[in-house]
A and B are shown apart, each in its own frame.
Chain A
Amino acid sequence: MPADLTPAVPALTIAGLRKSFGSNEVLKGIDLTVAPGEVIAIIGKSGSGKSTLLRCVNGLETFQHGTLEVDGQALAQDNAAAMRALRQRVGMIFQSFNLFPHLTVGKNIMLAPGLVRKLPADVLLERARRLLERVGLAEKFDAYPDQLSGGQQQRVAIARALAMEPMMLLCDEITSALDPELVGEVLAVVEALAKEGMTLLMVTHEMNFARKVSDRVIFMHQGRVHEQGPPERLFADPQTAELRQFLSSLQ
């Protein structure tokens, strides 16, 4: 690397993150640095704290100890303006889609950029159409969410998140609620995003997908990053008994 090139600011830096629900400590000191454009797959047993970790990154959960920086900006939990700025940089896709059922697909996508970014109507419209095309649903602009299949709804949810032009996407088991035959169409969209350089933090049970798309796999166990590494190594040669056991339980 040439000496005059300053290293890129990490997309995400988490240090000493601890989070409890009441007396139940769910995250027990997470340290994690994610480079811009890096694709991270988070795996682990149910209850190991994967969702909670993702939800801390965009402030859906508050945490008690540690620091979290997105693109060099420290997350300030009780500063509403700072949280609003942060959430524009970090998009989230949920397992249950969470589309707004009373709005058409187009309005689902245009709502937040219109309110938060105050974009004019023609820009909004153009953006929504372009994003829908990108997720292969151009003809569904005027449909309501309940008229779509699960896979289509999830692709709309991705388009909706992208409409805010985030630098990073958090995906929490986004194919877990789908019928098996609909999983592929959603993963294809995510894979395309990864190729285009989107920073991705995704909790997933799709090990083949994690192997194929991610740069790094994080194995969480009992609220800690128990083991991590590039997918080829991590899946082929797990170092800890817990990861070995987890991987064999999937078979």
Chain B
Amino acid sequence: MVEFTLWDILRNLLFAARWTVLLSLIAFVGGSLVGLLLLIARLSTHQLLGRAVAAYVQLFQGTPLLMQLFLAYFGMAMLGAQTSVWTAATLALTLYSSAFLTEIWHGCVLSISRGQWEAGQALALGFIEQLRHIILPQAGRIAVAPTVGFLVQVVKGTALTSVIGFVELTKAGTMITNATFKPFVVYSSVALLYFLICYPISAYARSLERKLDAR
């Protein structure tokens, strides 16, 4: 049997960490885009649309991400779609992120006073113009901290994709443990790598917040 050095373990974990980062990015960017569309729908005067988005948010907030992953994976297979763990994982994480982000941003938008909307209306701006030029720039400042906080959640959330067989950091950790029988060393390394991904994000959020507060 080959002996695994610490470097071998780290090297393999680092290799897998790429997928954690990539999956997080896709989920975050995809979730942001979908979340923005949902936000616009929710803020529109269209009653039914608003309620549909609220229900969507409740659905994703009220069920475990693990179930959403299972449902995406097995549900797609049931619908006869060619399922890969990649598509299932990105789909589930994107939808999950969109629900949380739209909810976070909706709260930020609600914290902007009605008078700002009305000033825009009185100046003949349309709904999207009010949103884009008046509301979102202000809500965006407030949204930085909770949004980045959520990005950290997403990074950690990708660990769950290991249960449908996606080989990211956590899954790689399990596989290496099975080969090396050094669970403590391996999982410590896994945890360290998660920390190394998440910490800079949080630190960046704090500095960004300070910069925005300055003006």
> Considering the complex, which residues of chain B in the window 112-152 have a beta carbon less than 8 Å from any beta carbon of chain A?
113, 115-116, 118-126, 129, 133-134, 137-138, 141
Give chain B residues whose Cβ lies under 8 Å from the Cβ of A164. Answer: 123-124
A92 contact set on B, CB distance < 8 A: 122
Q: Which of A11-19, A80-88, A209-217, A235-243 contacts B (4 or more CB under 8 A)?
A: A80-88
Q: Give, as a whole number of angstroms, the nearest-CB distance from B66 to chain A.
A: 40
Chain B residue numbers with a CB within 8 Å of A98 are 113, 115-116, 118-119
**With an 8 A cutoff between CB atoms, is A106 at the interface?**
no
| A115 CB within 8 Å of chain B | yes
Which partner residue on chain B sits nearest A87 by CB separation?
Answer: B124
Closest-CB distance, A196 to chain B (whole angstroms): 21
Task: For residue A79, give the distance in angstroms from its CB to the closest CB of chain B.
Answer: 13
User: Is A116 engaged at the interface, CB distance under 8 Å to the other chain?
Assistant: yes
* Cα of A225 to Cα of B141 in the assembled complex, Å: 45
Given contacts A100-B134, A102-B137, A115-B129, contact A160 B123 (CB under 8 A): yes
Q: How far is the CA of A1 from the CA of B125 in the complex (A)?
A: 41
Partner of A84, one of B115, B119, B126, B133: B126
Beyond A101-B138, A116-B124, A160-B123, is A94–B115 a contact (Cβ under 8 Å)? yes
* CB neighbours of B118 from chain A (8 A): 60, 94, 98
Q: Are A87 and B122 in contact (CB under 8 A)?
A: yes
Bound: A99/B134 CA distance, A: 10
Nearest-Cβ distance from residue A39 to partner chain B, whole angstroms: 20
Interchain CA distance A208-B137 in the complex, whole Å? 41
Determine the interface band of chain A, counting residues with CB < 8 A from chain B.
Answer: 20 to 34
- Tell me whether A87 and B119 are in contact (CB under 8 A): no
Q: Does A91 contact B (CB under 8 A)?
A: yes
Residues in B with CB closer than 8 Å to A102 are: 137-138, 141
Is A116 within 8 A of B123, CB to CB? yes
Smallest Cβ-Cβ distance to B138: which chain A residue: A102
Chain B interface SS verdict (over half): helix
Cα–Cα distance between A60 and B118 once the two chains are bound (Å): 7
Chain B residues with Cβ below 8 Å from A101 are 138
A103 to B129, CA, bound (A): 15
Q: How many residues of B contact A (CB 8 A)?
A: 18
Is A222 at the interface (CB under 8 A from chain B)?
Answer: no
B121 CB contact (under 8 Å) in A60, A85, A160, A161: A60
CB-contact partner of A112 in B115, B116, B123, under 8 A? B123
Contact A87 B123 (CB under 8 A): yes
User: Which of B116, B126, B129 has a CB less than 8 Å from the CB of A100?
Assistant: B116
Residues on B with beta carbons closer than 8 Å to the beta carbon of A85: 124
Shortest Cβ distance from A113 into chain B, in angstroms?
9
- Across-interface contacts of A116 in B (CB, < 8 A): 123-125, 129
Give the Cβ gap from B112 to chain A, nearest Cβ, in Å: 10
B138 touches A84 (CB 8 A): no
Measured CB to CB, the nearest residue on chain B to A157 is: B119
A96 touches B122 (CB 8 A): no
Chain A residues near B (Cβ < 8 Å): 58-60, 80, 84-85, 87-88, 90-92, 94, 96, 98-102, 111-112, 115-116, 160-161, 164
8 A-B pairs with CB atoms under 8 Å apart are A85-B124, A87-B122, A91-B123, A99-B119, A100-B116, A100-B119, A112-B120, A161-B123
10 closest cross-chain pairs (CB), A and B: A112-B123, A87-B124, A98-B119, A92-B122, A98-B115, A88-B124, A116-B124, A102-B137, A84-B124, A115-B129
Other A-B pairs beyond A87-B122, A87-B124, 19, CB < 8 Å: A58-B121, A58-B122, A60-B118, A87-B123, A90-B122, A92-B122, A94-B119, A94-B122, A96-B115, A98-B116, A99-B119, A100-B119, A111-B133, A112-B125, A115-B129, A115-B133, A116-B124, A116-B125, A161-B123
